[in-house]
Structure 1
Amino acid sequence: MLPFVIAAGASLVQSWFVPAPSASVPAVPAPSAGSPGPEPAPAPDLPRTPSPTDPADPTGQVRRSGTLVMTDYTAYDLDSKAANWSPTGDDWGPDRDVAYASRWADADGDAVIGRKDPKYVALLSGGGPWQRADCVHAPYSEPSARPVGDRLTQGRAICVVTSAKRYALLVVTGKAPGQLTVRVTVWQ
């Protein structure tokens, strides 16, 4: 076995062992004068380091679930275990994951805004039931997946990547002037 090391970023290095090359590897014929040469071999399936948008475990256990009544211009910490999801008005803060606004500058009407909007928030298509894997593969940062305006109707689902790199699913259950009610599921 030979060591195989991949460096990803300045602070993360991952290594594992791969089999040593075999002495009985078949020879690849040399390309003829007019041909482009042999096709490159496909890359081996190597283990990957989990990231917020591509974790190794797409199932996970539910950490917390409940109902959240999001009020106008208030941010919430979906990693919090506080009964009210630790709301803060007019102060985003480093741990706040999602907020609701009845008017948003680049939206036609109201919006659900994520941390580093729209990098960590995405509207899901379809009618559910949704699972953590749907949030793992959600179209984060895509303009067509922004949870804004008439997309925020009862039964629609929104995925959020939290500040602690967990996945949260918000399903709209009600809407009134200045507030949006969602059923929240946060996975480990």
Structure 2
Amino acid sequence: DQGRGPSAADWLAVAEEEDIRDVLFRLGEERFARRIAAAIVERRRERPFIRTRDLVDCVIGAIPRRDPNKHPATRTFQAIRLFINDELEEITRALEQSLAHLAPGGRLVVISFHSLEDRIVKRFMRDHSTAGKDFFGNPTGPVALKRIGKAIRAGADEVRRNPRARSAIMRVAERAA
């Protein structure tokens, strides 16, 4: 939503190095968050980030290249996107709303592409598929969801046809009657 809040470029232009580092580490799970944040602050002193390529070059120059199958700036862009769009909170809201609109026997199918997203989905399905327990261990309420099977990951053929499926995890639950 481009009308809501600052753009990524606006945020990068004013954010404190510590805030950038925290976003990259927390939301991107980027082990080189400190180096990248320092490089961003140093680079923006010289000139602003105008194009995404500016940020890509900055990140590439700040960290060692390891995995030839993953672009070195992927985690950085992911973290900034998650932060700017408040995506983790949006996922939580969407899950709650989907449960409210799901008919008994209806299925909730969620595909996540990031471990933080998957953690939210997994916790949501777990919390709504078990009844709370009182002091004595007795169930305190109805179960809203029944988990269907285990998490499903893309197979080798799917990843070959669609490399973006590499990190996809699908979870399915059914609305209890």
TM bin (shorter chain)? under 0.3
Q: Report the TM-score when normalising by structure 2.
A: 0.22
Structure with the largest fraction of strand:
1
Q: TM-score, normalised by structure 1?
A: 0.21
Structure whose CA Rg is larger: 1
